[in-house]
Chains A and B, each alone.
Chain A
Amino acid sequence: MKRQRRRAQRWGGTSAARRHSGPSPVDRLQSYLVSHLHTAKEALRRMRRTPFAMALTLLVIAATLALPTSFHVLVKNLRMVGGDLEATNEISLYLKPDLSNDAGRRLAERLKNHAQIAETRLVTKEAGIEQLKTYSGFGEALSALNFNPLPVVIGIRPKDSLTQPEQVERLVAELKALPEVDLVQSDIQWMHRLHALLQVAERSFGVLGALLAAAVVFIIGNTIRLELYGRREEIVVQKLLGATDRFIRRPFLYTGFWYGFLGSLGAWIVVGVMLLIVRAPIRQLNVLYGSDFTLAFLGFQETMALVGIACFLGVAGAFAVLIQHLRDVRPE
């Protein structure tokens, strides 16, 4: 604005007629803000004049934005599942079936003193069969058995100092070598696999996101380009009346902004509906696994980021097109 004013002054001359006809600085600021507000409203009103075209464009933008957003929500939820499992990163030792509860208890005591083990938890044969009856739904079939086929199980929580996968694997190998142990099951290995997978997912999220952001810029830019050519006459008249490029660009930038803004709201709703749809099956899974996992949606900050990025992409798309094509629109 300052630079504009300087230019205006340079060409303003010094005649008395000019002096009383130019707006004052306060006026200028006030009318600048008023004109921005007016332009924003006008851009929205103009979009609503062609509701079908607008709805279609918004739908495409919303779908394009919903893709990386839902991917993000998916990764976020998987990460939370991973986090839950990490908190219970137990190594389960299944002892040989002929070993008694007492023998198991003695082994558990011994292992508790192991340098790399924080805690041990004994599941006796009887406790094991109770758990199985409660969670598996095979209660009646198990009651029909006249003996207990389950081994004693010792749950082991390694010390927190065991952060490297190799350290954990070494401990697992050591436990496997114990004469009392039949089978060692560790969630930790597939935890690491999950983490590696999530990392791949996040990388591809970056690439996908960048591609789809470019798509949004392109869609909005194209919409603005059509609008620009539709309003050729108007732009020519504005230029003849002394409008700066900045003034002419403004309504189009607002149009881009609105497309980004409304498109992101659309994407938010699409992702929300998707989560509502999968909520029921997730609840069923929860019942089956006895877990209390709840689906996470977009948080406040993530929503703001989505809206902010979309608005930026909209304005950027409009700006790129205006820089390219506004020069072509000239009084003949």
Chain B
Amino acid sequence: MLEFKEVYKRYPEFGEALHDVSFHIGRGERVFLTGHSGAGKSTLLKLVAVIERATRGQIVLDGRNITRASNREIPYIRRKLGLIFQDYKLLYDRSVFDNVALPLVIAGFNPGEVSRRVRAALGKVGLLSKEKRLPQTLSGGEQQRVGIARAIVHKPDFILADEPTGNLDPEAAREVMDIFRDFNDLGVTLLIASHDEQLISRCGGRVLRLQRGSLSEVGA
């Protein structure tokens, strides 16, 4: 599903963020990426979503090398992914429904199909009754569940989450993790960056640890 081969990332302003990172994630795996803040977790995820480009090395996503993808190809790479962010990145002037519908509208689905899929996705995260609400009227945990619904509505094979529980209380964090586990059980590949070791150990799965840009495998 995803392979890093001797990947380096150097920012002109901050120096080296990733140093000789190599790993492989198979289809259907559940993988946590952990490490202190500033260890390079976000950078690694950004490379997968082509928000940043690797300085050296190769990244292969679903059998294709994305390190040399042209700018015009980037949107189509991102459509294969479900991205989840610590700060949710919802559009606050639109309803929950419209937020979740966005990936489908972008991909050009017809309105009937859009509502069918949006309702299915909202059902999976338990927010079907709140589709008309604006995001500000929801709790943090609910907003993150909207973010998750938006990430899975176009049925991606691979979900990337960057500190998805970072802004949530323990109760909401557990709920979110349970949702992730359910998706993983359905065969979706997960790569979740988190520094919450407790939550990771309870959830279970392969753990990759980043330390000042270098990767070490902790084990399953």
Contacts and interface: CB of A to CB of B under 8 A. Distances in A.
A192 interface: no
A242 B76 contact: yes
A141 interface: no
A131 B63 CA distance: 98
A15 interface: yes
Contacts of B155: 17, 21
Given A11-B77, A240-B83, A23 B108 contact: yes
Given A7-B76, A240-B78, A13 B63 contact: yes
Contacts of A34: 110-111
Contacts of B89: 236-237, 240
Nearest to B80: A11
B220 interface: no
B105 interface: yes
A287 interface: no
Nearest to B106: A243
Interface in A28-72: 28, 30-32, 34-35
B40 interface: no
A286 to B, nearest CB: 58
Given A13-B63, A17-B155, A237 B76 contact: no
Given A10-B73, A15-B157, A243-B75, A23 B110 contact: yes
B209 interface: no
B9 to A, nearest CB: 15
A47 to B, nearest CB: 15
Contact of B91 (A233, A239, A243): A233
A51 B107 CA distance: 32
Contacts of A237: 89-91, 102
B62 interface: yes
Contact of A23 (B51, B102, B113): B113
A244 B103 CA distance: 11
B109 interface: yes
B45 to A, nearest CB: 11
A242 B107 CA distance: 8
Given A31-B109, A35-B108, A8 B76 contact: yes
Nearest to A24: B110
Contacts, number: 89
Contacts of B113: 23, 27, 31
B48 to A, nearest CB: 12
Given A11-B64, A13-B62, A23-B107, A240 B51 contact: yes
Contacts of B79: 8, 11, 241-242
B49 interface: yes
A130 interface: no
Interface string A66-88: 00000000000000000000000
B143 to A, nearest CB: 13
A184 to B, nearest CB: 76
A238 B110 CA distance: 18
Given A242-B78, A247-B106, A7 B111 contact: no
A182 B173 CA distance: 110
A139 interface: no
A239 B91 CA distance: 13
Contacts of A28: 108
A165 interface: no
A149 interface: no
17 contacts: A8-B79, A18-B80, A18-B157, A23-B109, A23-B110, A30-B110, A31-B113, A32-B108, A236-B89, A238-B102, A240-B83, A241-B83, A241-B150, A242-B78, A242-B103, A243-B75, A244-B106
Given A234-B91, A247-B106, A331-B51, 4 more contacts: A11-B76, A11-B79, A233-B91, A238-B106
| Nearest 4 pairs of A and B residues by beta carbon | A242-B79, A11-B76, A242-B78, A31-B110
